[in-house]
Structure 1
Amino acid sequence: MELLKADVRSTKKIAISTELPSKPLMAVVDEELLTSALLNIMLNGVQAMPEGGTLMITLSQKEDLLHLNIKDTGTGIEKKDLVKIFSPFFSTKEKGCGLGLSKAYKIIRAHLGKLEVSSQVGVGTNFLISLPLRGMR
């Protein structure tokens, strides 16, 4: 997270907002893999805000699931592209290789989690990650 904040501060007018519970939430995860997945999703959000904006990160628990929302106020994703964004090599960016979100999706699924996305062009995109508190396969 600190790496992302440093990158954002040095290049763009982007605010990072976090909403975290008062008590820590614990889940059994591969820290390195999950960090990679989260960075890919957050970088995607930052890149979608070339004129600046806000990246909001919210962590909560509902029953036996940890919910992590990553929401940006960027350009949004067209409906026709939403079904493709987790496919390897799909990118709407001129210089993108299309592996970041695909990799994030696979990592979250390996943790028995779900990755859902909703988006509105001109408004922004929301990624909802749901992870079981019990572990990974």
Structure 2
Amino acid sequence: MNKNDILEKCNAISKNTLMSTLNIEYVDVGEDYLVAKMPVNSRVHQPMGLLHGGASVALAESVGSAASMLFVDLQEYEVRGIEISANHLKSKREGTVFATARMIHKGNKLHLWEIKITNEDNQLISLCKLTNMILPKRK
């Protein structure tokens, strides 16, 4: 499957989900990474007018889980996020953030991802770590 087909598939399975509610869009993919973007506006603000940490975590888990799905046979297996941590390092009021998930460990049952959320100037906003469990599909 080529790059555009992968991105199209990732965006298609996100319709009518939290990802579409937050306007998350998958925009780039490579051999060991997946990138998504999310607009920063009042829909993802906390009461002080800044990007909500929970929205950042939702973006991170979305891109990390979708990235794991690229590495498993979805006819046989399912991906479940089992742990996520986030350090929010810089605030953001408006514009766009980009989340890049890169594989740290690819096991048969666990995937570990580092997700860097950056602004348009590639400044680090949040640094996240996500562990996904790979489970056999229930029959």
* Higher share of residues assigned helix: 1
User: Structure with the greater relative contact order (CA < 8 A, sep ≥ 6): 1 or 2?
Assistant: 1
TM over 0.5: no
Q: Which has the higher strand share?
A: 2
TM-score for the superposition, normalised by structure 2: 0.32
